Amino acid sequence: MYIKRAMEEKFLRMSAFFKAVLVTGARQVGKTTMLRHLSKDRPYVSLDDADAMLLAKQDPKLFLMRFKPPVLIDEVQKAPELFPYIKLMCDASDEKGLFWLTGSEQYSMMANITESLAGRIGIMTLHPLSYQELHGITFDAPLDLSLQGLLHRETQAKPFDMENIFDAIWRGGMPQAQNATPEELSMYFSSYASSYVMRDIAQAGGVTDEVRFIKFLTACAANVAGQLNLNNLATVAEISAPTAKSWLSILERLHIVYLLQPYSSNKFKRLAKTPKLYFTDTGFCAYLAKWLSRDVLMNGNAAGHYFENFVLMELIKALDYSTQNYDLTYFRDSNQKEVDLFLEMGGAIHPLEIKLSASPDRREVKKYAMLENNDIPRGAGGIVCMSPTVIPITEQDSFIPVTLL
């Protein structure tokens, strides 16, 4: 059964505005499924097909004669030779939405697109399924962290409990992982690692030492929601720190990991300079770290880290699929004063703590006072948590149920 994606409306608006639209994202998140669902009679070709890829690389002009626009081209990063010809066809037509493209590797495509299709293409990222998508929840307005905005959003949400949330965390958001038994889930992620991740990594960065790379990937999973320490990761994987840096960059390019950058400002001194490490799919992370069931993960010592990862990615999904421009960072200074998230949006910084509790300590929001003398005004914030309802803490802060993101 097809699961409606929150990105659909924004994608169709971009297709009506741009001559080409590119949807990036990790393998298996549902890019092709969504576009084929929306495309109806649009011709489709995948460059995972060896013959199609060979034609696209050796004779891109003939390829585009064979697959005329409007067309959907899957895994377009495998034939960058197409981009100059796509540009020519876009320039020769006034029609919008000529090319729908998907791609799994971000940065190599971006270099070609910047050179060939600047101003002609809209770019979006599709993430693993969100909690709202999985539960058929649609909010009628963008995220608003004010008390009024949260209370309105609450009217459209559904009740939840710890088991609901940790099933979503342990299973992750890959469409094929939904409704799988624990045994099937383990087989799926094992296949995902070997069939997609290792193959794409070998193509993207020439990584050939699969044993050490899996060690590195597992070490990343063990450090989820922690500050990045390349030396430690390198030691565990028995590689050099420069190699660890290179491999991490590849994982980021393939949308496997997400690096949350630290906040920087002249108003604050001695701030952290190291990013924090997260996975775009908590299910894959849990598989790598060998959390064999929802309940073991939920009751284990890493539950808070996985909850933090889950909240971050749910927030990113909500913001990416909306019309809001935003920037996400975390705050930590030399005195270990830390705020989990600074959401810069609408000309203000919205501070957010993440707590795996139904009734966190209200005093946590007192540290937000640090923003009073900042260059950017302080906006509404609070504590994202397991509270079943929105509860005001101060005039600007609330307990925010995790399912309202």
CATH code, residues 8-125: 3.40.50.300
pLDDT of 148-176, one tens digit each?
Answer: 999 999 999 999 999 999 999 999 999 99
Quick: pLDDT tens for 292-320.
999 999 999 999 999 999 999 999 999 99
Answer yes or no: is pLDDT of 352 > 70: yes
What is the C-alpha separation between 294 and 165, in angstroms, rounded?
A: 10
| Residue 378 near residue 395, CB atoms below 8 Å | no
Helix (H) or strand (E) holding 151: helix 147-154
Judge whether 204 and 254 are in contact, CB under 8 Å: yes
For the residues of 266-299, what is the DSSP string, one character each?
TTS-SB--SPEEEES-HHHHHHHTT--SHHHHHT
Asked whether residue 145 carries a pLDDT value surpassing 60, the answer given is yes
What was the pLDDT predicted at 73? 97
Domain locations along the chain: 8-125, 131-404
Reply yes or no on whether the pLDDT at 139 is more than 90.
yes
Do 175 and 134 form a contact (C-beta atoms < 8 A)?
A: no
Amino acid identity at 189: F
Select from 201, 179, 230 the least CA-distant residue to 26.
201
- Which of these ranges, 211-225, 265-279, 364-378, has the smallest mean pLDDT? 265-279
pTM for this predicted structure? 0.94
Confidence of residue 110 (pLDDT cuts 50, 70, 90): low
- The helix/strand/coil state of 252 is helix
pLDDT at residue 118 in the model: 80
